[in-house]
A = this chain, B = another copy of it.
Amino acid sequence: MDFAYSPKVQQLRERLTAFMEEHVYPAEAVFEQQVAEGNRWRPTAIMETLKARAKAEGLWNLFLPESDYGAGLSNLEYAPLAEIMGRSLIGPEPFNCSAPDTGNMEVLVRYGSTEQKKRWLEPLLAGEIRSGFAMTEPGVASSDATNMQASARRDGDEWVINGRKWWTSGASDPRCTVLIFMGLTNPDNPRHQQHSMILVPKDTPGVTVVRPLHVFGYDDAPHGHAEVLFENVRVPYENVILGEGRGFEIAQGRLGPGRIHHCMRSIGMAERALELMCKRSVSRTAFGKPLARLGGNLDHIADSRTEINMARLLTLNAAYMMDTVGNKVAASEIAQIKVVAPNVALRVIDRAIQMHGGAGVSQDFPLAYWYAMQRTLRLADGPDEVHRASIGKHELAKYVPREALRGR
């Protein structure tokens, strides 16, 4: 276990932190205002400004491990950078490091054909377009991904796609021009080889962005989370990624780094919530004392610090394992952080809300919005329940053959 920040990483941390302080935090209110004033679903001018500046400074595509295209950082190296970006909801995009584009770019880098890379990866890497990932479906329990029912049927040189997806984040954004659709293509294959990933230009006839989904009252515009209908959508056969029936194989590869990113961003957000909580606790007074000195408030701060530290170390360790022994061996550790990070963030944010009184749930502080965003992460990419079952089974596999644990 070597969690040291290399000089390269340390330097990037400093540059990122400086950028956040100089440019991103001050832009938060501007961003919010630009969204509120105009068409909520149109990209903001401020974000394009931030992107241009970050790109110019070379703080761009830091997430990409492969050195052909990206910064060449390992998961362990990128993790502390993701934490820094995660401190603001508008933190990742300036650096072209926001989901779901990061995951989609990784898929294309690893599994995309030359043609696919040229057409979709390059503009994504340049920050010229954005992308969506259409996997979750409203009609079935997504905890069991093999439930997916949207389908792509081959018809000559084309796929004919039908089905309804939702939580396709970013699909409402006009810059989003391509979706990675995942659906049933080979129903007769073994259970995890029935689905494929197919690239679908968003303007293909039959693709309808039905409506934005809200999260606790927030529409998360202009990015948002869309319900998308596919009706007899026809795309060329070669738009399939990697090959038929290999959807889950790709998904496995896609999810690992994405989980590190998500978790470190959650930790960054929790850190900032703790900062807000601390500052409030020493600046507000009740019964003649600062809040920090009343009742169990100091305990809440202590627990938050402790839990954040543990969540960070757990995530760094998972990243380290991914880098050294690979996703498969690190599967339990990756599942552990998937459960821990958002739950820790939620607890810290909730305590911070409580310390702020009514202001904490209002628009005057970002806490309630953060809470809503983190709450979805206990569901996105599989609910807590699925990941805990997986951790449990990994543990028991030390004692009995995995077959003995089949079924639920």
Contact = CB atoms under 8 A, between A and B. Distances in A.
Report the copy number of this chain in the oligomer.
4
Contacts of A375: 353, 361
Interface in A197-218: 213-218
A55 B216 CA distance: 33
A284 to B, nearest CB: 5
A389 B284 contact: no
A266 interface: no
Contacts of A339: 302, 306
**How extensive is the interface on chain A, given as a class?**
35 or more
A393 B298 contact: yes
A297 B143 CA distance: 13
A142 B217 contact: no
Interface string A375-402: 1101110011101111111111011100
Contact of A136 (B215, B302, B358): B358
A260 B379 CA distance: 34
A56 interface: no
Interface of A: 1-5, 136, 138, 140-144, 147, 166-167, 213-218, 274, 278-279, 281-282, 284-287, 289-299, 301-303, 305-306, 309-311, 313-314, 316-317, 332-333, 336, 339-340, 353-354, 357-364, 368-369, 371-372, 375-376, 378-380, 383-385, 387-396, 398-400, 404-405, 407-408
